[in-house]
Amino acid sequence: METRALPNPPSALSRRLSVVAAREHGVSPTQLHWISTDAEIFEVFYREHVEAVQSFVARRVGDRERAADLTAEVFLAAIDSAHRYRPRRAAPRTWLLGIARVVVANDGRQRHRQRVGEERLRGSALLDEEDAAQLDARIDAAARSRELYQAMDRLPEGERTVLELVAIDELSLKEAAALAGVRPVTARVRLHRARQKLRSELEAAADDPNPNKEDQQ
């Protein structure tokens, strides 16, 4: 069985030049594996992508403390997975949002199984007032996206995944296909179908001024 040789640790000079380059241009695909061993590279990577991850999570989670928790979990998972990153498969941002998608999905399944009222770790203690205010603002701004997200529940899983990645998370079709694990042409077909079905759902809801009238009787 062939084993992959680990890269030699960079010299002090090359490491310093790498940090400078990362701060000026962002963490490159070839530098990403260093986020698990180099605190400065990780800090640059975190600052570069934290808003994108927070926005991604906030569009799916309506609770500030839970969103903070999950954002931290995403970056911890990225550190653990950095050695498996392959630049040819996805750009750093796409790779990181792929991790965020898995973390949020796993959390949703776990919370569904938990008993009501079970105490869980909160992220509020890790936030100062300014961080909390920023996260609140992102969650408020994402409220309309979450309403649309609810309307997407009737779509098949594959179509909904591509639609949310393109329409809500503003990824390119190629990036969405990579995250969904399908070919770009398949993603394009799913996106077209999802848009048609969602348009029909929203038009039907708009035609019914009281969609919950049966529940109120």
For the segment 41-88, what is each residue's pLDDT rounded down to a tens digit?
899 999 999 999 999 998 888 788 889 999 999 999 999 999 999 988
Residue ranges matching CATH 1.10.1740.10 in the chain: 27-112+124-141
Is the pLDDT at 10 greater than 70, yes or no?
no
What is the per-residue pLDDT for 88?
86
Exposure pattern of 30-40 as b/e (b: 16+ CB <10 Å)?
A: ebbbbbeebeb
**Contact, 57 vs 75, CB < 8 A?**
no
Residue whose pair of structure tokens reads 């998972």 in the numeric block: 77
Distance, in Å, from the CA atom of 92 to the CA atom of 94, rounded to the nearest integer, reads 6
Spatial distance between the Cα atoms of 212 and 117, rounded to a whole number of angstroms = 28
Mapped onto helix, strand or coil, the DSSP state of residue 205 is: helix
Q: Please, which pLDDT band fits residue 122 given cuts at 50, 70 and 90?
A: very low
Highest mean pLDDT out of 57-66, 90-99, 128-137: 90-99
| For residue 200, pLDDT beyond 70 | yes
Where, residue-wise, is CATH 1.10.10.10 in the chain? 143-207
SS3 212: coil
The predicted pLDDT at position 205 comes to: 64
CB 77 within 8 A of CB 100: no
Asked if 148 and 71 count as a contact pair (C-beta separation under 8 A), the reply is: no
DSSP 155: S
Q: Which CATH number fits domain 143-207: 1.10.260.40, 1.20.1080.10, 3.30.70.2860, 1.10.10.10?
A: 1.10.10.10
Q: Which residue has the higher pLDDT, 169 or 175?
A: 175
pLDDT value, residue 160: 84
Q: Give the DSSP letter string of 130-149.
A: HHHHHHHHHHHHTHHHHHHH
Supply the DSSP symbol for 166: I
CATH architecture of 27-112+124-141: Orthogonal Bundle (1.10)
Q: State the Cα–Cα distance between residues 182 and 178, nearest whole angstrom.
A: 6
